[in-house]
Structure 1
Amino acid sequence: MITVTRLDGRHFAVNPDLIARIFESPDTILVMADGARFIVTESMAAVIDKIAAFRAQVIATAYSEAPAPAKRTSHLSVIHPADPSDGTSTGGQ
């Protein structure tokens, strides 16, 4: 969630994944996926920066909390094409 400010000074949080559009003319308007509109005091650039910081935080948190890679107990085998010297065809023609 990102925190933004209404024109009356009250703060509220909004899910940035649900923001469909942002307009600035001159007030900044967040248009949500469901059609709801919020007028906020932050500039469009400031809202975009908050969204980018939020997403960076999500990725950093996921990365830092990810489990360590498991030790491999088996390996994938690689199947090589038949050796042409043994008289088998590789299917090229």
Structure 2
Amino acid sequence: MIIVTRLDGREFALNPDLIERIFESPDTTVVMADGANYIVTESMAGIIQKIACFRARIISMARDYVEEEMPLPTPPKLSIIHPSGNPHTSGS
């Protein structure tokens, strides 16, 4: 989530994955995928920067999580089962 500010000074969080578009005219308006519109004090460039930082933080957390907290599983050992039951005999 990114934190943005309403014109009256109240802060709230937006899910950046649901932002459809942002425009300035002169106030910055954020249009969400569900059609909701939010007028905020941040500039369009400021919101884009917040989204980039949010995504970078998520990627960093995922990288650290995989390396430190969740080791990769050991792949299972596979063996060949011969239909005749004896690997040294031919099928004839």
TM-score, with structure 2 as normaliser: 0.75
- Once the two structures are TM-superposed, the CA of residue 25 in structure 1 deviates from its matched residue by 1.2
Give 1:49-60 correspondences, 5 Å limit: 49-60=49-60
Distance 2:45 2:8 in 1: 20
Give the CA RMSD over aligned residues: 1.3
How far is the alpha carbon of 1:71 from its aligned partner? 4.3
SS at match of 1:26: coil
**Unaligned stretches of 5+ in structure 2?**
79-92
Q: Please give the alpha-carbon distance, in whole angstroms, between the structure 2 residues aligned to 1:5 and 1:19.
A: 15
Q: What is the CA–CA distance in structure 1 between the aligned matches of 2:77 and 2:60, rounded to whole Å?
A: 30
1:70 deviates by: 3.6
SS at match of 1:60: helix
Matched, 1:69 2:72: yes
Give the share of equivalent positions with the same residue, in percent. Answer: 61
Deviation for aligned residue 1:68: 2.6
1:7 deviates by 0.2
Instruction: State the distance in 1 between where 2:31 and 2:46 align.
Output: 16
Aligned to 2:12: 12
Letter in 2 for 1:37: N
Compute the TM-score of the two structures, normalised by the length of structure 1: 0.74
Distance 1:5 1:30 in 2: 11
3-state SS of 1:34 partner: coil
| CA deviation after TM superposition for structure 1 residue 73, in Å | 5.9
